[in-house]
Amino acid sequence: MATTDERIKPAHPLPALRPTTVDIYRELQLKRSHGGRVATIEWDPPKPMNPLSVTLTDELVAAVEEVSADEQLHVVVFRGAGGYFSVGDDLIEIHEGVWGDPNQVMRRIRFYQRFANTIAELDKITIAVVEGLVLGGGLEITMACDLAMIAESCRWGMPEVDSAMTPGWGGTTRMIRLIGRRRAKEINLIGALQSARRGVEWGLFNRAVPDDQVGTELERLLDVLLVKNQQTLRQLKFTMNKNADADMSTALAFEAYSEVVTAAVNWRPDTPEIPDAEPGRGLEAFAHKNELWQQRRSKAIDFWSD
């Protein structure tokens, strides 16, 4: 019979947060497309509905570190295979003691928090493509992304409460910041499964899309994002992320400095070339309404505006 110490010893020690290579992945695929500018991280574990096992989550961490190190990438898409995003942490593993003792649980939760924070801080635009069910840790991944589109039939929620559990890597903290205190309490204290429509109305997702149009809508969104100046997108993301948690005075000062950086790298044609910047070209495009301006505005002006 196993001793107590043997029973609680975790089967999977925490890996180091380091870039890795694609050929070690077993439960996900990291695919590049659009001339190497878009990476899609798509997971397909052996269990149905894509629970976040320790093995899968360790691979997700490695994949995010890999895309973080790739300066050629501009957009990262997160997606589950088989019509499901993820039903969250693998509770069977947790029940079997894979996470270990309370100290080891704390270390793994902090590891997952670093994972979510790394997604949030990527210097690329991140898109969650949400289908089927997105619960618990799966929903926490979407909340770390910049944009999230959800299939109309998808249902979402934080049902941890009914397993006597609490969220650990954003299910309360990020959710409160996205949808407010009362709604976050409703989702976490009751544990109901919600509709895609409600998720959009509450601001948890950007857009609900008919199930058979998810792929098409993703390509439309990528088309809009890839035609823009990527240095500007990175700067906007960085500024908004930091300002969201700052007081108004600090946020406005930071925004002013951001505009000075924009002026330094993008406004004048004689500025030394910086990768992904466009010295003088953006303002010139506006002034002359040239092809670049027409291309960007025609794609963006009515996108998701209804």
| Cα→Cα distances 190→159, 160, 187, Å | 8, 10, 6
> Measured between alpha carbons, how far is 282 from 287 in angstroms, rounded to an integer?
9
pLDDT of residue 159: 95
Residue 279 and residue 271 in contact, taking contact as beta carbons nearer than 8 Å: yes
278 versus 33: the higher-pLDDT residue is: 33
State the pLDDT confidence band at 1, using cuts at 50, 70 and 90: very low
Within the chain, all domains assigned CATH 3.90.226.10 are found at 4-226
State the pLDDT confidence band at 24, using cuts at 50, 70 and 90: confident
**β-strand 207-209 against 147-151: which pairing, if any?**
parallel
> What residues does 151 pair with on adjacent strands?
209
Residue 149 and residue 207 in contact, taking contact as beta carbons nearer than 8 Å: yes
Residue 195 and residue 155 in contact, taking contact as beta carbons nearer than 8 Å: yes
223 versus 278: the higher-pLDDT residue is: 223
Q: What is the mean pLDDT of the chain?
A: 90
pTM beyond 0.85, yes or no: yes
Does the pLDDT of residue 199 top 90, yes or no? yes
pLDDT of residue 257: 79
% pLDDT > 70, the chain: 92
Q: Which fold has domain 4-226?
A: 2-enoyl-CoA Hydratase; Chain A, domain 1 (3.90.226)
Complete DSSP assignment for 56-119: HHHHHHHHHHHHHT-TT--EEEEEESTT--B--B-HHHHHTTTT-SHHHHHHHHHHHHHHHHHH
With tokens 């240095």, the residue in question is 231
pLDDT of residue 262: 80
| Both structure tokens of 261 | 């950086």
Most confident of 142-156, 225-239, 256-270, 289-303: 142-156
Angle at 142 between CA 138 and CA 159, to 5 degrees: 40
